[in-house]
Amino acid sequence: MTGLIYTCFICPTTDLSVQHWLDDAENSPENEYEVVACPACTKVHLINRKTGKPLVSSKDQRKGMH
């Protein structure tokens, strides 16, 4: 049975803290990401299921790396 994991990530577009629930990633590989609809900017982000961090950071976004 899988549970939910609470995670908080920084939206790469707005730099706001976003709270989200992910499915338990206990057996997920390190490079597996989940598509998350962001309520802060209304875009979608790829969030790492193990770390809870977005694939693209705010710093990368400012540099123009998408």
Q: What is the pLDDT of residues 23-66, one digit of tens each?
A: 876 777 888 999 999 999 999 999 988 888 889 865 565 555 54
Residue type present at position 32 = E
Q: Residue 54: beta bridge partners?
A: 47
Say if residues 7 and 21 touch (Cβ distance below 8 Å).
Answer: yes
- State pTM to two decimals: 0.73
What is the CB neighbour count within 10 angstroms for residue 58? Answer: 15
Say if residues 45 and 36 touch (Cβ distance below 8 Å).
Answer: yes
In which element (H, E) is residue 52 found? Answer: none
